[in-house]
Structure 1
Amino acid sequence: MSEPERAPSAAATFDPASATIAIVTYNRSSLLTRLLESIVRMDPKPGHVVIIDNASVDDTGPVVESFRDRIGTEIVYRRLDTNTGGSGGFSEGMRVAYELGSEWIWLMDDDVEVIPDGLARMGAWAPRFRSIQGRRYDFDGSEFYWQYRVAEALAIPIPFAPAGFDESGYKEMNSGCFEGMFIHRDIVAKIGLPDPRFFIYWDDQLYGWLASRHTTSVIVDEFVLRRTREIKQWDMGIRHMNASSDAYRYYIMRNRAIIQQYYRAHGVYRAVPFTMGTALTFAKELIRLLAVERTVRGTSHLFRGLRDGRAIAKDESFRPMPPLEASTQPVA
């Protein structure tokens, strides 16, 4: 496949109203406020803003209501009965946006803000690609590096994938990040909704991998988001390693088994390299504990995740998320 030249502005062929921003939030109303304020300043704006509230017990609901008359586009607010994690929240957000008839769905956490012309920047690439990731500024204004390539056999990110862009302005990826994934409904129809069984972690990487099996997925040289929450990290230059939590440590190991089930379903699972990927993930988390959090406490959650993952890997009833009906009409 020959590489096309970098896209010029495509405002005439991309309709901002065809896009929906889908946000997942949980007990972080101050961060959500900052994100919604940034959407107020956006030009152009999306047709809808979907907010999935993972059963927050703070003032998230009133905060959302305070923006209805200010934001300049329609807000659709869904408060879930229980906390379904980021995975469940993005699955529900994708479902709501899809049923609204959205052509494009832009996913994001509550701890980012949108650059004012971010939607126009993403839309400029929309006529050419169907799965697009923009770039982000970190909390301190530096360029945030994201590992956009996955070593498929190992099912882990490639940490040394080149960070720079050439004159084309994009790089092909086979991964995804729900902090900024911009995806067309046709691809969602083919691969289904994000899998809520992940709860947190690996869900977006797998979803991006699934998308890349149906379309050319790209990360583009466009800064469209800025992170608004400072996270303790180990700075390694252009790359960094963030602090984590016990829940993170548990799910990063447990959810390897869900990826394993998807790999089996798609005929790409190979036991030896996949097991190597799991071992490398475990080692990376030990390094994270030592280098970022400067402790060895937390390793029990890694082992617990491995243990519970074995039951998932052996579950013969496990099925991947089904495709959606490929209709472009909203559901009544």
Structure 2
Amino acid sequence: MKPEPKDKAEVDTTSFAPSDTAIVIVTYNRSHLLDRLLSSIQVMNPSPGHVVIIDNDSADDTHEIVAKHTIELAPTVIYQKLATNTGGSGGFHHGVKTAYELGASWIWMMDDDVEVIPDSLGKLGKWAARFQVIQGRRYDYDGSEFYWQYRISDRLAIPIPFAPSDFDITGYREMNSGCFEGMFIHREVVRRIGLPDPRFFIYWDDQLYGWLASKITTSVIVNEFVLRRTRDIRQLDLGVRHFNASSNGYRYYIMRNRAILKQYYRAHGVLFPAHFALGTVLTFAKEILRLVLVEKTIRGTSNLFKGLRDGRKIEIDKAWKPMAPLESTDHSNRLKNH
């Protein structure tokens, strides 16, 4: 299944309306962070039409926090508590599906450990007439400007760490990746590439989703600060770039999910096995460095090997299929009439 050609003229985005936006939040046992995020949404100007909250079966007081903000927030709040923890991938799968079925023209995805800048929706909206996939910038926990690796190597399927971090007079750079911590995407792109793949659980899911989107439209990161991280993460400061601490779960899925990426690349006819294998080796080496330099240990390496082992089962699964595009039925007026 090869990607559809780019067609920037297919959908009219010139009449951007903030009320046609649905913010999709995925949360899990971090009610204090969710509380802060929802408080920041409360003072947004302009504000979105809907806030969709996907709760990955939290055991804390997330439900009570949502109930409080459902009364306080101007946007309509849609709350779904899932029966099990489906990871970030499963959460965004359900959240984007819900926002799409509501008829939202624009879907803005984010985790629970950020807060929105009050005028952020207006900042993104001014780019909506030109682009259908927009990534804003964010401040890190300490207030510094976070650098996100917005370009990936098509053949290696890994981020390019030396992609330029500055912006020229245009105020944007083209990207071929994605980050669910702030991806702002038009419903037409969702229709054409399908929903986020829940099989990732965590990691590589948003990179792939952005890559798929970039195959059919021009995707950009814009020089607009729209989010601020609210959770401190241990990291090694390398100047513009950082090495963040990880976990055993992340290490496992980082390697296992390379197999899902490989299946997608194969389905789209762009798999170069030797290059992709090199990308996997480089990913493994990077995680070893992360362990040694940031976490000061080599314990956890076994999870990388377990991920590779279980990924092999996915690689050889001949019944495996990528996520399919959505039906072409137009729901674009539902949100206005909801």
Q: TM-score, normalised by structure 1?
A: 0.96
- In 1: Cα distance, 2:63 partner to 2:329 partner: 32
Which residues of 2 match residues 295-314 of structure 1 at below 5 A? 295-314=297-316
- 1:318 aligned partner: 320
Q: Which runs of 5+ in 1 are unaligned?
A: 1-10
> What amino acid is aligned across from residue 227 of structure 1 in structure 2?
R
Unaligned ranges ≥5, structure 2: 1-12
Cα separation, 2, equivalents of 1:326 and 1:236: 46
Deviation per CA, 1:245-277: give whole Å up to 9, x if none: 000000000000000000000000011000000
2:132 corresponds to which residue? Answer: 130
Match of 1:44 in 2: 46
- Alignment check: 8 A CA contact 2:150 2:221 kept: yes
Identity score, percent = 66
Residues 152-301 of structure 1 correspond to what in structure 2 (within 5 A)? 152-301=154-303
Q: 1:199-222: CA deviations, max 9, x gaps?
A: 000000000000000000000000
Q: Render the CA deviation track for 1:290-314: whole Å, top value 9, x for unaligned.
A: 0000000000000000000011000
1:13 Cα deviation after fit: 2.9
C-alpha deviation, 1:282, in angstroms: 0.1
Moved more, 250-259 or 12-21: 12-21
Helix, strand or coil at the partner of 1:141: coil
State the Cα RMSD in Å: 1.2
Structure 2 counterparts to residues 82-121 of structure 1, below 5 A: 82-121=84-123
What residue number does 2:4 align with? none
CA distance in 2, matches of 1:164, 1:71: 36
The alpha-carbon deviation at position 53 of structure 1 amounts to 0.1
- Alignment match, 1:78: 80
Q: Secondary structure at the match of 1:61?
A: helix
Q: How many residues align?
A: 322
**Alpha-carbon distance in structure 1 between the residues aligned to 2:259 and 2:171:** 35
SS of aligned partner of 2:72? coil
Q: Counterpart of 1:4? A: none
- The answer as to whether partners of 2:173 and 2:221 remain within 8 angstroms in 1 is yes
- Separation in 1, partners of 2:236, 2:329: 46
Distance of 1:12 and 1:272 partners within structure 2: 43
Aligned twin of 1:8: none
Q: Distance in 1 between matches of 2:199 and 2:250?
A: 14
What amino acid is the match of 1:173? M
Distance in 1, matches of 2:330 and 2:225, equals 29
Identify the residue that residue 30 of structure 2 maps to in structure 1: 28
Letter in 2 for 1:279: V
Structure 1 runs of 4+ with >4 Å offset: none
Q: Which string of whole-angstrom CA distances, capped at 9 and with x for unpartnered residues, describes residues 158-215 of structure 1? A: 0000000000000000000000000000000000000000000000000000000000
Q: CA–CA distance in 1 between the matches of 2:166 and 2:14?
A: 29
TM-fit CA distance, 1:12: 8.2
Q: In 2, distance between residues paired with 1:12 and 1:289?
A: 47
Rounded to whole Å, the distance in 2 between the matches of 1:122 and 1:241 is: 28
Instruction: Name the SS of the counterpart of 1:68 in structure 2.
Output: helix
